[in-house]
A = this chain, B = another copy of it.
């Protein structure tokens, strides 16, 4: 169903300049609302700007809402996508399917309310309302216009039974539990799983996914006494330990007997060596933090003579969004952690 090699499924025909690059690398995309047979057009309702991008815009314009709004409009008009040229990041959007091409493999139909799970940096986007309803004061941007999804895009239908902000915050990290599940299930015997940064969104989902996939024991590592107490109370882990994830020796000591699978969900640099040291020979480390350094991981494992498999956390696993939402629904403890984190958002 999905096209490879030829490259049409990835939206090459929407790249206006420079020719031949992928949409994410493009300076400018074609936002023509007429879709190809394998595309989907979405009527946009809301953009969720990437936090780093919004922060940069706010800082650059001294917090002036009008100037921030004008800048976003300018970027989208110029590039045909919301791709912040300074941060290189985008965000995601929520909208309603307007038209689904007959050859689209995404399984969407007209009227479906969806969230895009690929970055706005590669999504053709045209705005028509001048962002009149956006106050410029948060990364949540009410918007009107249209966006195009390719054959190889990812979009998830928003569930009717969950508040939209809650569903979005789950979808935002749904790759982590999906890959954790796959790695745990692939082990020959039930593994011990350690999650670094276990009280966060991706961490708590990964704990739940690991246990459900057959882990013999799940250990959560957190940095503070407060998180330790909260996670212990949730019952999501068999043991909750405390250490600074950037201190390899402290991490290894806190985990104790090394884990078979270690999942890194701590979004700060410098956690590679602790994760490696906490993992048994023949084990697997899954790095989900975007702060992971490739060379620190590669050289660290070599320097420690650690025979561990190290995975780059791929944000895409088929069915990841549905599975993560299902975890949230069936694990009240996960939902409670999410709701506590989201604060006011969860009430929307």
Residue A224 interfacial (CB < 8 Å): no
Looking at the complex, which of A53-61, A293-301, A321-329 is the stretch in contact with chain B?
Answer: A293-301
Residue ID in chain B nearest A301 by CB atoms: B314
Instruction: Give which listed residue, B23, B248, B277, B301, contacts A315 with CB less than 8 A.
Output: B301
A287 near B277 with CB under 8 A, answer: no
A285 to B229 alpha-carbon distance, docked (Å): 39
Q: Which of A36-44, A193-201, A303-311 contacts B (4 or more CB under 8 A)?
A: A303-311
| A152 interface residue (CB < 8 Å to B) | yes
Interface residues on A, range: 35 or more
Residues of B contacting A10 with CB < 8 Å?
277, 304
**Nearest CB of B to A297, in Å:** 5
> Does A20 belong to the interface (CB within 8 Å)?
yes
Of B292, B309, B315, the contact of A311 (CB 8 Å cutoff):
B309
Q: Is A252 an interface residue (CB 8 A)?
A: yes
Residues from chain B with Cβ under 8 Å of A2 in the complex: 281, 305
Contact B314 A309 (CB under 8 A): yes
Q: Which of A248, A290, A312 has the most chain B CB atoms closer than 10 A to its own CB?
A: A312
The yes or no answer to A273 lying at the interface (CB within 8 A) is yes
Looking at A10, A250, A305, the one whose CB has the most chain B CB atoms below 10 A away is: A305
B7, B280, B305: the one within 8 Å of A277 (CB): B7
Q: Is B305's CB under 8 angstroms from A118's CB?
A: yes
Query: Provided the pairs A2-B281, A118-B305 are in contact, do residues A311 and B314 lie with their beta carbons within 8 angstroms?
Result: no
In the complex, residue of chain B having the shortest beta-carbon distance to the beta carbon of A276:
B314
Looking at A249, A295, A306, the one whose CB has the most chain B CB atoms below 10 A away is: A249
A256 at the interface (CB under 8 A from B): yes
The verdict on A24 contacting B310 (CB below 8 Å), with A5-B257, A249-B7 known, is no
Known contacts being A247-B20, A249-B22, is A119 close to B302, with CB within 8 Å?
A: yes
Contacts of A310 in B (CB 8 A): 311-312, 314
What number of copies of this chain does the assembly contain? 2
Complex CA gap A117/B303 in Å reads 9
B281/A302 in contact, CB under 8 A: no
A305-B152 in contact given A298-B313, A310-B314 (Cβ < 8 Å): yes
Q: Known contacts A20-B247, A309-B314; is A118 also within 8 Å of B303 by CB?
A: yes
A316 within 8 A of B: yes
Q: Does A154 have its Cβ within 8 Å of any Cβ on chain B?
A: yes
State in angstroms the CA–CA spacing of A1 and B168 once bound together: 48
A115 to B70, alpha carbons, bound, how many Å?
A: 61
Distance between Cα atoms of A145 and B250 in the complex (Å): 33
> A312 contacts B287, CB within 8 Å?
yes
Contact residues in B for A248 (Cβ distance below 8 Å): 21-22
Question: When A and B form their complex, which 5 residue pairs have the shortest distance between CB atoms, in order from nearest?
Answer: A302-B315, A310-B312, A152-B305, A301-B314, A294-B294
Beyond the given A5-B252, A118-B302, A293-B294, could you list 14 further A-B residue pairs with CB under 8 A, ordered by the A residue number?
Answer: A5-B253, A22-B273, A118-B303, A121-B303, A154-B302, A154-B305, A287-B294, A290-B298, A298-B312, A301-B312, A307-B317, A307-B318, A308-B314, A310-B311
